[in-house]
Amino acid sequence: MTTALELQAVCKQYGALKVLSSIDLKVAAGSRTAIVGPSGSGKTTLLRIIAGFEVPDAGRVSLGGQLLADGGAAIPAHKRGIGFVPQDGALFPHLTVADNVGFALPRGMPGRDQRIAELMDMVSLDTAMLKRRPHEISGGQQQRVALARALAQSPRLMLLDEPFSALDTGLRASTRKAVAQLLSSAGITSILVTHDQAEALSFADQVAVMRAGQLVQAGHPSELYLRPRDVETASFLGESIVLPAQLAGGWADCALGRVAVNDAKRSGAAQIMLRPEQLLVTEVPADAGRAAGEPAACFGAVTDTDFGGSVCVLSVRLLRGNGAHALSAQAPDPLAEPLLVRSPALQVPPVGATVRITVSGQAHVFARVAP
C-alpha cells in the first residue's frame, strides 16, 4: 500500500504550551484514518497543520511524496489541494447550495453544472435542493453539501473535523456510514478527527489515539480495541475491566479466578484487561459458591440491575471463593466493590441471586510500564 500522507516528528507549541510533541504518522493511500482523543489532546491542531492552516514548529509533512511543510516553512493551504470539511459544515450563507458546491470549480468551466449534479448525486442529495440557501436545509443535509463542496476539487486528501458531532444521534450513524462508503468507493484518502470513540472505530481503517499532544497508539481498530497499549487508551476506546493479576504460563490469577491471557511468556505481577462482552453471568443455586468445586470458579451476588432496553447492566458483588483474589489492589475491602457486568435482558437474574461469572476469550496484558 502506498503511503499517501506522512508526518515525521511534527511539533507545535503555543508559547509555553506544547500542543504537539513529535507526532509520527503514516496514512496509506485510499484508506480512512481516524484521529481520536479527548479535548485538549491536540488532534484538531494536527488536522489544521495537515490542512495548511497552521505551520508546525518542527517536523515534516509530506503528501504523495511532495513536501508540504518542513520545520517553519510550509506551502499555504490554498495551494495544497486538500479537502477540508469543518465542524458543522461552514457553508457560505450568502450563496445557494449550487454555488457552495461549485465554489472550487472555475466559473467558466464547461460542464460545471453537470459536475455539480454529479457531486450532489454522490452525496445522495436531491438536485432540487440546489436553488436553496444553506439555512433552508437540515443539519445533515448541510454536512453532505459541505462534503460535496470539498469533493468538487477532487482532492488528494480529505480532512474531516468532527463532522458528525453537530448531528442528531439517530442521524449520526447513518451519515457516518454513508460518508465512509462514499470515500472508500471514490478511493480518496481521508482523515477524520473525533472525540467519539465509537465513530472512530467504525469509520476507520486506521485509528490513531492522541493524548496530551502525543500519539499514543496507531493501528487497525480491532488491534487498538483488543490490545490497547495502556490503561487510559483501553478505557478511552470502550468500557474495560482492569485487574491486577499474577501471570504464569499464559494464565492469570485474578479476582475473577483463572483467566487465559494473550501473553504466554510473561510471568509475575501485571495488569490485565477484559472487555465487558467477555464476561458471562449465569444464575446458579444460592449455595453453589460454598461447595468445593472448580477451584478457579468465580461467584457473585447481584446487588443491582439497571434496565437499559436490550442490555441490562448488573452490579455483582464477588463472593469469597476458592482462588478469589483482590479485585483491585487499592480497595480496602476488595470484595465490597461491585463488578459491572452486561446481560441480555431476556435472562436477567433478579437482585440478590447468586451468579457464576465466566470469562470467554483471552485477557489482554498491558506492557510493563517503564519506571
Partner 1 sequence: MSAVSIPARSEIAASLVAAPAQKPAPVAPRQRGAGWRLSWVGIAAMLVSLLALLPLGFVLWVGVDTGWETASALIFRPRVGELLVNTALLIILTVPLCTALALALAWLTERSDLPGARTWAWLAVAPLAVPAFVHSYAWMTVAPGLHGLPGAVLVSVIAYFPFLYLPLSAAMRRLDPGMEDTAASLGLGPWAVFFRVVLPQLRLAICGGSLLIGLHLLAEYGLFVMIRFDTFTTAIVDQFQSTYNGPAANMLSGVLVVCCFALLGLESAARGNERYARVGSGAARMPFKRPLGAWSAPCQLLPLATTALALGVPLFTLVRWLVAGGAGVWRLEEMGPALVQTLGLGLAGALLTTLAAVPMAWLSIRSPGRLQRLLEACNYLVGSLPGVVVALALVTVTVRVAMPIYQTAVTVLLAYLLMFLPRALISLRAGIAQAPVELERAARSLGRTPAQALWSITMRLAAPSAAAGAALVGLGITNELTATLMLAPNGTRTLATSFWAYSSEIDYAAAAPYALVMVLLSLPMTWLLYTQSKRSAGR
Q: 33 or 343, CB closer to partner 1?
A: 33
State which of residues 64, 139, 219, 238 lies at the interface with partner 1 (CB under 8 A): 139
DSSP, residue by residue, 311-359: EEEEEEEEPP-TT---S-SS-SSGGGSPEEEEEEGGGPPPTT-EEEEEE
> Bridge partners of 17?
14
What minimum distance in Å lies between the beta carbon of 48 and partner 1? 8
Query: Which H or E run contains 281?
Result: strand 279-283
Residue 300 to residue 320: CA distance in whole angstroms: 8
The separation between CA 113 and the C-alpha centre of its own chain, rounded to angstroms, equals: 38
Q: Among the residues of 71-111, which ranges form H helices?
A: 97-101
Do the bridges between strand 311-318 and strand 3-14 make them parallel or antiparallel, or are there none, so unpaired? unpaired
For partner 1, the binding residues in 248-267 under the rule CB under 8 A are none
State which of residues 40, 81, 250, 334 lies at the interface with partner 1 (CB under 8 A): 81
- Cβ partners under 8 Å of residue 344, min gap 6: 310, 311, 312
State which of residues 114, 124, 153, 360 lies at the interface with partner 1 (CB under 8 A): 153
State which of residues 82, 234, 243, 353 lies at the interface with partner 1 (CB under 8 A): 82
State which of residues 6, 70, 88, 230 lies at the interface with partner 1 (CB under 8 A): 88
Cell of 352: 440478590
State which of residues 86, 257, 321, 349 lies at the interface with partner 1 (CB under 8 A): 86
Q: 86 or 289, CB closer to partner 1?
A: 86
For partner 1, the binding residues in 265-294 under the rule CB under 8 A are none
Establish if 76 lies at the interface with partner 1 (CB under 8 A). yes
Establish if 3 lies at the interface with partner 1 (CB under 8 A). no
Q: Give residues in contact with partner 1 (CB under 8 A).
A: 48, 51-53, 76-94, 103-104, 133-135, 139, 142, 146, 149-150, 152-153, 159, 165-166
